Amino acid sequence: EAGVTQFPSHSVIEKGQTVTLRCDPISGHDNLYWYRRVMGKEIKFLLHFVKESKQDESGMPNNRFLAERTGGTYSTLKVQPAELEDSGVYFCASSQGNTGELFFGEGSRLTVL
């Protein structure tokens, strides 16, 4: 069974540009999460989808970040316009129901120059 897949694995953009990260959760997982790790710091929660609905977006840094999950399958996280402090590794994770293991993707490394 395929795990959580993320694309791109690495993106390098200039300040002010736009980047869209994509996450494909494990098939059948209604719960999808975005987390972010800034260099050397903790992995921080950004938001949680249940199917296509945002359950909790309390971790989103500001309105330059927009997450969507149309149709309740894959999700996108758009950063527009990107700032230097947005650099980091963006992890997507999914789970089946409210209990059980949280499965992570390999992350999308974003570098903003």
Partner 1 sequence: GENVEQHPSTLSVQEGDSAVIKCTYSDSASNYFPWYKQELGKRPQLIIDIRSNVGEKKDQRIAVTLNKTAKHFSLHITETQPEDSAVYFCAASKGTYKYIFGTGTRLKVLA
Which residues are near partner 1 by CB under 8 A?
A: 3-4, 31, 33, 35, 40-45, 48, 56, 58-59, 91, 93, 95, 98, 101-102, 104-107
Whichever of 19 and 23 has its CB closer to partner 1, that residue is: 23
Q: What are phi and psi of 84, to 5 degrees?
A: -55, -40
* 82 versus 89: smaller Cβ distance to partner 1: 89
Shortest Å distance, C-beta 100 to partner 1 = 10
How near is the Cβ of 7 to partner 1 at its closest, in Å?
Answer: 14
Shortest spacing between CB 12 and partner 1, in angstroms: 17
**Beta strands, E only, 1-113:** 5-7, 10-13, 19-24, 31-37, 43-50, 53-56, 65-68, 75-79, 88-95, 103-104, 108-112
User: Are 107 and 88 a contacting pair, CB within 8 Å?
Assistant: no
CA 52 centroid distance within chain: 14
Structure tokens at 113: 């120059």
Nearer to partner 1, 82 or 108 (CB): 108
**Residue with Cβ nearer partner 1 (8 or 16):** 8
